[in-house]
Chain A
Amino acid sequence: MSDKTAPVLAIQDLTVGYQTRNGIIEAVRDVSLEIRKGQTYGLVGESGSGKSTLALAVMRYLSANGEVRKGSITFNDRDLLDMSTNELRQVWGKEISLVPQDPFSSLNPSIKIGEQLAEALRQHTNLNAGEAATQSVDLLKDVRIADPENVADKYPHQISGGMQQRVMIAMALSTEPNLLVLDEPTTALDVTTEAAVLDLFRELVYERQTSALYVTHNLGVVAGISDRVAVLYASELVEDAPTKDLFAQPLHPYTRGLLDSVPRLGQRKDERPLQGIPGSIPGLQQLPTGCVYADRCPLAIDICFDERPPLDTPVEGRRVRCHRWPEILSGEIDARRADVEAIAVEDYSSQPLLDLDDVEVHYPVGQSLVDTVRREEPQVVKAVDGVDLTVGTRRTLGIVGESGSGKTSLARAIIGLVARTGGEIELLDMALPPELNTRGKDVLRHLQIVFQNPDEALNPYMTVGEILRRPFVNLLDESRQAADEKVAELLQAVRLPAEYTERRPPQLSGGEKQRVAIARAFAANPDLMLADEPVSALDVSVQASVLNLLNELQIENASTTLFISHDIGVVAYLSDEIAVMYLGNLMEVTDADQLFDVPYHPYTEALLSAVPAPDPSVKKERIRLEGDIPSAIDVPTGCPFHTRCPRFLGDVCVDEKPPWQTAPNGKRIYCHIPVEELMDIQKPVVKFEE
């Protein structure tokens, strides 16, 4: 892309403020950037960094209390900020379109898909109603929706999330706009669906030479689709560079921190631990006078606290807002933190701690009187449908799978929050009864769980001290005084200041809350720690430190972890062993070391191919799944994966349950294709180029 052409979008010194009860906060400060024809500009940053505000300012659709305080936005040489609402209506949906994060709530629930597409066409072209309707169907076809006539005739709730997002993209592209603004368009989607939507984005946007501002917190997504990346931190643009350069040599310490916070594919906790970024984003009420990143930056020096760094141009085409970029550029200093060391357990015992035998969790679904009268078969959701698994003492077993695969239900059945409907669970050779209330207190203290959302797990009215004291008093029968000492130790272990005993959860950040939840879980020194998506609700910079914390505490307490996540990169980083789950069934069980080696279960193969790698140098085989994950009410016969399997064999997959096979490298795979043949036909999905 030649940079000589006039920019499609030029943002100059833009400052956007929100009127709040405590005065005006600036959610975007002095941001400038230019997007050229056909360029995809990635905009990354943690939540609260100002990404969506910038995107909505470009759309001229800030919320009522927001206003542009300074600067300009020029679109195709026209001043966007100067336009009246009437003029904007000629631009909206015709020249600039938005693809929002949550497609379902962004579609009108009571208007059919086809009409929601057609009305924009009628507005901006001179198509009549019939022609617009026909073209809507064509648009759906363009976004690779099978059976577009049928989908056009449906309401949003009748189609899947992935399809809804395709509809949003179709809508945004319908009038061939010059600029597309995308605000976290795939964040709500599963990886396999995300991968398909990103493919689509690449094809359609590149093909039409549409410029795009692509907002995301996911570096992996940025690495895969954008030409340039701007990094936002606490309302400011801190770095801006061509994607390859940014990933190869980040110049701002924050960018470095972000990159080192997400595991690269293949990165393991015992080889190269994640760095993370200590602390959290400063409140926008009172931004520091110096560098906004100074209190978290490992390279901060005196000047950083006093003087705001200017946005410099170290090399042609790159910008960075840091006092110390010359030293970073020349390699004299490095923002990588030295204080995070790899720690690993050597002395695994081979003894199993947890043994699951054919565990089943079926939920009945609304059986009404009418159904009983009509003698309908009672329906069940087969959330977990026969899982056999053994977890070795002091090991970390990761369970990975898309949403709805039954991971949470399995964890809840183990801890007893839902009563399993079949199978046996043994912990330390004790049989665990299905119901929690029939398990003794001694069993309870062996098992602890950390949930995805710490808000639900922590009582907002109790102080952190009270929350942490409870397990000591209730489960371990310790005295109040002994408990208080232990609480202090715990807080130290999870790196929270001792004063936090007096605070209540609402006064803590998301990461801090999760630390408290983790501290509480480890308080009773459990043998088995269940962690259900413990970092999914956290920002990446915080994610890393929570993952490391889980790892450290596990080693210190000599406990065993069952770690659940939809993010295969995170699972691969933290686990010793990995189980891949789909529709209530395990598909593959492998040592984490072997995850990336052939053979794979066809589902694992697709998952690995779908995961967006935060590294443009990683090359992946492209394997995409058709359609959506089926309902757990109608689990397909034979192999549950057969409706979407790219390596589908034929009737045998439909009629017969596959066998468990063991590959030469010890992987266990649930598939009809013989492992020898899998090894023959499969190539490594992920190739690392150093």
Chain B
Amino acid sequence: MLRYLLRRMGFLALTIIVTSLIIFTIAQVLPGDVCRVILGREVGDQALADCREDLGLDDPLVVRYVTWLSDFAQGDWGTSYSTRTEIRPQVMDRLRNSMMLAAVTLVIAVPISTLLGVIAGFNEGKPVDNVISISSLAVVGLPEFVTGIFLIEIFGHWLGWFPPNSSIRAGTSFQEALPSLILPAFTATFVLLAYVARLTRAGVLEELKRPYVRTAALKGLPRATVMIKHVLRNALLPTITVLAISFGWLISGLIVIENVFNYPGLGRLMTFAIDRRDLPLLQAVTMLTVIGFAAANLGADLLYAYLNPRIRVGE
């Protein structure tokens, strides 16, 4: 188990370094002189040279990469070109918002989607299964902005249950933010739902075929015990892993949803940074995203290993 853990961590570190290299390189090869972007077109040569000197743009690439990475690691993420403020507090605030949204989404999505998948799996081929399978497929076909706008119209404007606009101020507490989180979270749930439900259903069907289910049934155990204690434990393993991985996606991948709801998460910050050609901001957000993904993957691996005795206590 220790060896497994070390291997996964090493892998994680490698992923982060490789992607940081890619991010750095892409940022460097993007056309346009950064100092011109900062100072405007009409600037004099001396000011430009000073600016280049300041930003270390004339150093060799390797030096600049190492400086950038070590600064990043030490929490010095630089100043945003467009807002002229320190990047870190901004990004951290957005990260917190994104995590709140991700958490609420998982709280809604996990029980609903796994339950639907389990019900469908245990009733393979029966009407319930067909209804679940078909309707979840139908839902997955809808783009996020369609479901999002639909929810805003119904629950935001018409019924007025939740605010139609989820733009919250920086530092808003979770309780205060919660009503604003519900609609975007449901929209994200729709995206996850079909996928997770189908995965769970497949997991259940796969496990039901295994001979140990027969052993359990032929012990005379009640059907509920066979299903919950024996089958679910194994059937949900892949689902749990996928959900853990999807946490990474939820933090940074909700670009469309955040835009539809005006929700200030990392996704919108990234759109903003791209819009303004704000390289330091973009680099910081992307790095954070990558770290988030990698951490979610590691979390998923560890969870899988923990839940699966064949890895936890390998022989």
Closest chain B residue, CB of each to CB of A85: B223
B310/A155 in contact, CB under 8 A:
yes
Contacts of A102 in B (CB 8 A): 211
* A459 smallest CB distance to B (angstroms): 29
Contacts of A107 in B (CB 8 A): 212, 215
**Known: A105-B210, A108-B234, A368-B3. Contact between A94 and B309, CB under 8 A?**
no
In-complex Cβ contact of A158 among B215, B218, B315 (8 A): B315
Produce 1/0 per residue, B249-274, CB < 8 A to A. Answer: 00000000000000000000000000
**Known: A100-B211, A108-B212, A155-B310. Contact between A93 and B219, CB under 8 A?**
yes
Closest chain A residue, CB of each to CB of B9: A370
B293-308 at interface with A (beta carbon < 8 Å): 307-308
Instruction: Give the number of chain A interface residues (Cβ < 8 Å).
Output: 35
In-complex Cβ contact of B7 among A90, A109, A111, A370 (8 A): A370
B6/A370 in contact, CB under 8 A:
yes
Contacts of A108 in B (CB 8 A): 212, 215-216, 230, 233-234
**Known: A155-B310, A157-B310, A369-B10. Contact between A109 and B219, CB under 8 A?**
no
B220/A123 in contact, CB under 8 A:
yes
* A408 smallest CB distance to B (angstroms): 23
* B170 smallest CB distance to A (angstroms): 43
Selected A-B contacts with CB under 8 Å, 22 pairs: A89-B220, A89-B221, A92-B220, A93-B221, A98-B215, A98-B218, A106-B211, A108-B215, A110-B233, A110-B307, A110-B308, A111-B233, A120-B219, A123-B219, A155-B309, A158-B313, A158-B315, A168-B215, A369-B10, A370-B6, A370-B10, A371-B3
Closest chain B residue, CB of each to CB of A368: B7
B220/A93 in contact, CB under 8 A:
yes
* A303 smallest CB distance to B (angstroms): 43
B218/A97 in contact, CB under 8 A:
yes
B171 on the interface (CB 8 Å rule)?
Answer: no
The answer for the CA separation of A123 and B222 in the assembled complex, in Å, is 9
B39 on the interface (CB 8 Å rule)?
Answer: no
* B209 smallest CB distance to A (angstroms): 10
A370/B3 in contact, CB under 8 A:
yes
Contacts of A371 in B (CB 8 A): 3
Produce 1/0 per residue, A91-128, CB < 8 A to B. Answer: 11110011010100111111100000001100110000
* B225 smallest CB distance to A (angstroms): 8
A157/B309 in contact, CB under 8 A:
yes
B218/A59 in contact, CB under 8 A:
yes
A106/B219 in contact, CB under 8 A:
no
The answer for the CA separation of A371 and B7 in the assembled complex, in Å, is 10
A669 on the interface (CB 8 Å rule)?
Answer: no
B142 on the interface (CB 8 Å rule)?
Answer: no
Produce 1/0 per residue, A139-162, CB < 8 A to B. Answer: 000000000000000110110000
The answer for the CA separation of A92 and B215 in the assembled complex, in Å, is 10
Contacts of B310 in A (CB 8 A): 109-110, 155, 157
Chain B, interface size category, equals 20 to 34
B26 on the interface (CB 8 Å rule)?
Answer: no
The answer for the CA separation of A124 and B218 in the assembled complex, in Å, is 12
**Known: A105-B211, A110-B233, A370-B10. Contact between A92 and B218, CB under 8 A?**
yes
A61 on the interface (CB 8 Å rule)?
Answer: yes
* A448 smallest CB distance to B (angstroms): 38
B214 on the interface (CB 8 Å rule)?
Answer: yes
Contacts of B212 in A (CB 8 A): 105-109
Closest chain B residue, CB of each to CB of A115: B229
A109/B234 in contact, CB under 8 A:
yes
Of B7, B210, B218, B308, most A-chain CB atoms within 10 Å: B218
* A121 smallest CB distance to B (angstroms): 9
A106/B230 in contact, CB under 8 A:
no
**Known: A155-B310, A368-B3. Contact between A119 and B221, CB under 8 A?**
yes
The answer for the CA separation of A422 and B58 in the assembled complex, in Å, is 59
The answer for the CA separation of A100 and B217 in the assembled complex, in Å, is 13
A171 on the interface (CB 8 Å rule)?
Answer: yes
Closest chain B residue, CB of each to CB of A108: B212
Main secondary structure of the interface of B (DSSP, over half): helix
The answer for the CA separation of A119 and B215 in the assembled complex, in Å, is 12
Contacts of A91 in B (CB 8 A): 220
Contacts of A119 in B (CB 8 A): 219, 221, 225, 229
Produce 1/0 per residue, A54-73, CB < 8 A to B. Answer: 00000101000000000000
A-B contact count (CB 8 A): 88
Produce 1/0 per residue, A365-390, CB < 8 A to B. Answer: 00011110000000000000000000
The answer for the CA separation of A123 and B234 in the assembled complex, in Å, is 22
The answer for the CA separation of A106 and B233 in the assembled complex, in Å, is 15
Contacts of B217 in A (CB 8 A): 61, 92
Closest chain B residue, CB of each to CB of A181: B218
Closest 7 CB pairs of A and B: A93-B219, A93-B220, A92-B220, A120-B219, A155-B309, A106-B211, A89-B220
The answer for the CA separation of A106 and B210 in the assembled complex, in Å, is 7
* A60 smallest CB distance to B (angstroms): 9
* B6 smallest CB distance to A (angstroms): 5
Contacts of B221 in A (CB 8 A): 89, 93, 119-120, 123
Closest chain B residue, CB of each to CB of A100: B211
**Known: A105-B210, A111-B233, A124-B220. Contact between A100 and B313, CB under 8 A?**
no
Contacts of B233 in A (CB 8 A): 108, 110-111
The answer for the CA separation of A98 and B85 in the assembled complex, in Å, is 72
Contacts of A94 in B (CB 8 A): 220
A111/B220 in contact, CB under 8 A:
no
* A114 smallest CB distance to B (angstroms): 13
Contacts of A155 in B (CB 8 A): 309-310, 313
* A572 smallest CB distance to B (angstroms): 34
Produce 1/0 per residue, A35-61, CB < 8 A to B. Answer: 000000000000000000000000101
B7/A369 in contact, CB under 8 A:
yes
The answer for the CA separation of A124 and B225 in the assembled complex, in Å, is 14
* A447 smallest CB distance to B (angstroms): 38
B215/A106 in contact, CB under 8 A:
yes
Contacts of B210 in A (CB 8 A): 105
B180-219 at interface with A (beta carbon < 8 Å): 210-212, 214-219
* B137 smallest CB distance to A (angstroms): 25
The answer for the CA separation of A85 and B223 in the assembled complex, in Å, is 10
The answer for the CA separation of A61 and B222 in the assembled complex, in Å, is 15
* B276 smallest CB distance to A (angstroms): 42
Contacts of A369 in B (CB 8 A): 7, 10
Contacts of A92 in B (CB 8 A): 217-220
The answer for the CA separation of A123 and B220 in the assembled complex, in Å, is 7
* A175 smallest CB distance to B (angstroms): 9
The answer for the CA separation of A467 and B313 in the assembled complex, in Å, is 46
* B205 smallest CB distance to A (angstroms): 13
* A510 smallest CB distance to B (angstroms): 23
Produce 1/0 per residue, B223-253, CB < 8 A to A. Answer: 1010001100110000000000000000000
The answer for the CA separation of A107 and B217 in the assembled complex, in Å, is 12
Closest chain A residue, CB of each to CB of B230: A108
The answer for the CA separation of A369 and B7 in the assembled complex, in Å, is 8
**Known: A158-B313, A370-B3. Contact between A110 and B234, CB under 8 A?**
yes
The answer for the CA separation of A603 and B219 in the assembled complex, in Å, is 39
Contacts of A368 in B (CB 8 A): 3, 7
Contacts of A85 in B (CB 8 A): 223
In-complex Cβ contact of A90 among B3, B216, B220 (8 A): B220
